[in-house]
Structure 1
Amino acid sequence: MAKIFFYGAVSLDGYLSDVNDGLQWLFDTEVGDKLTTDAFLDTVETVVMGRITYEEARKYVQPLYPGKDVVVFTHNTNFDVQEGFAVSEDPVDYLRKLKEQPSGNIWVVGGVNLLKNIIIADLIDEWWIQIAPVLLGNGKRLFEQSEPAN
């Protein structure tokens, strides 16, 4: 059975992207170690993300995750994915089925809209979170603000 990982970076104040879903701040910042990222990538077979994250990442990285199966969730059934394929079915159902396959691990890249339901469904097996030394002030949070558990 595959494991599902979240591996990503947030700003010091907890944002995954800026208010416009932009990631420029992340690509302008050195986060982590390339060796750590490469070692992580060696453990995954499938890379999963939402359409907005895919479009943002392609601005900075091409080709996008060569040698990996890239799955992009979108409501647009005609969306063209250059390095993988688009999926319009429910991400939680899709990931549950994919996790049961005898294949490699799965990396959920983001974004926030995709992650919300995956978090609620408790599908993430391991969290790898890096903190970028940047204060965004506002944007899209990785975790919504909530009351602490008792």
Structure 2
Amino acid sequence: MRKLKYHVATSVDGFIAHEDDTYGAFMQPRLIQDSEHVTDFVASLATYSAALMGRRTYEVGLKEGVTDPYTNLETYVFSRTMKESPNPRVKLVSEDAVGVVRRLKAQEGGDIYLSGGGAFAGLLFAEGLVDEVLLKMNPLILGAGIPLVSSLRQVVDLELKSTKVYGNGVVLLRYAVLPRPKA
């Protein structure tokens, strides 16, 4: 079974984007220029065979003319409001998101990259579909924005598997999602 990994940049206070869905604070030259964490992230994409994202995450690139953000991966955008995909390679999922993700996880292949989306991530955590969390904790406090996860109704327990501290202050935290206790 393929693993679903929520691999996301976050601020120290748990935000993955500004309130307007932009990422300006994360794009500061001190955080991205000649940064080993960017190189490591790009290399990690080779371990994935599919990418999942919600509409709001997808639209960030779309506003810049990027219709296929992960050309080497099967890409799925989950949206109840988009009517069609602007790129034939990008699959639009408007119904049964949980069922689609379950079917993808059951297929053969590399791991699945959950590419941001606080609300979408919350849905997948609630359904017990996320296997790992990789947080690129940036040395920033935003004070407000899009939360790492939203709308959770129960605690998700994590087990720390590894850490890596980069010279620019970014810390990569890798967690396994622990199974939920049986009721």
After TM superposition, is the score higher than 0.5?
yes
More moved, 96-105 vs 83-92: 83-92
TM-score (normalizing by structure 2): 0.71
Residues 72 and 81 of structure 1 are in contact (CA less than 8 Å); yes or no, is this contact kept in structure 2?
Answer: no
Structure-2 residue corresponding to 1:33: 37
Q: Secondary structure at the match of 1:33?
A: helix
More moved, 41-50 vs 124-133: 124-133
More moved, 70-79 vs 59-68: 59-68
Structure-2 residue corresponding to 1:45: 49
Structure 1 residues 99 and 24 mapped into 2: Cα distance closer, same or farther (>3 Å)? same
For these two proteins, the number of residue pairs brought into alignment is 149
TM-score (normalizing by structure 1): 0.85
Structure 1 residues 91 and 146 mapped into 2: Cα distance closer, same or farther (>3 Å)? closer
- Structure showing greater Rg: 2
Q: Secondary structure at the match of 2:19?
A: coil
Task: Provide structure 1 residue ranges, at least 5 long, that are not aligned to the other structure.
Answer: none
Structure-2 residue corresponding to 1:23: 23
RMSD: 2.6
- For residues 114-125 of structure 1, the aligned pairs below 5 Å read 114-125=120-131
Percent identical: 28
Structure 1 residues 60 and 78 mapped into 2: Cα distance closer, same or farther (>3 Å)? closer
Asked which structure has the greater RCO (Cα within 8 Å, sep 6+), the reply is: 1
Moved over 3 A (4+): 57-63, 143-149
Instruction: State how far apart, in whole Å, the 2-side matches of 1:95 and 1:122 are.
Output: 11
Structure 1 residues 61 and 25 mapped into 2: Cα distance closer, same or farther (>3 Å)? farther
Instruction: State how far apart, in whole Å, the 1-side matches of 2:80 and 2:154 are.
Output: 32
